[in-house]
Amino acid sequence: MKPEVDQILRFSAGQLITGIAPDLPVGYNQGAVSLLGFMMLLAAQEYDRAADIRVTENADIRKLFGALLPRVRDAALTEKLKTASESKDASLTISALDAANYDLRRLLIALHTHVETQGDTASAKRIWAVLKAMADRRVVAPPMG
């Protein structure tokens, strides 16, 4: 699509922030229009990196599952982790990636609960490292310029 979604969002945000908001009376409506424009700038930023974030997270979680399989003492959980670690993203649409991410995160919670219950601090630390990387990746920076 030309222009791209992020370009449309940035242009529209610029119109709201610099073209419409300043002409409104100071107050709620001016603030609401400015906030809407700012949110559009954030959405434009996220548009560009959305699939990359989700694909990377899904791959990191699957890799973690494979690495921690030998440390899991629950047969049912082991089977779920094995299946998930061997799975692939079926589509690169955000909705499909989000659905896979949701399922992987639910299983990650079960794994985290298991290793914490077993007192496996080494595995827990590896899980926390993946969770921290996921959080860092999703940080939204204010748009510059």
Any domain includes 117: yes
Any domain includes 145: no
Any domain includes 144: no
Q: Provide the residue range defining the domain that includes 65.
A: 5-137
State the alpha helices, DSSP H only, in the chain. 5-14, 28-68, 75-86, 94-118, 121-137
Any domain includes 15: yes
Any domain includes 96: yes
Any domain includes 31: yes
Any domain includes 112: yes
Number of domains in the chain: 1
Q: What does the pLDDT look like over 7-17, one tens digit per residue?
A: 888 888 888 88
Higher pLDDT pick, 19 / 136: 136
Any domain includes 19: yes
Do the beta carbons of residue 27 and residue 125 sit within 8 Å? no
Cα distance between residue 91 and residue 51, in whole Å: 10
Where does the pLDDT of residue 120 fall: very low under 50, low under 70, confident under 90, or very high at 90 and above? very high
Q: What does the pLDDT look like over 53-76, one tens digit per residue?
A: 999 999 999 999 999 999 999 999
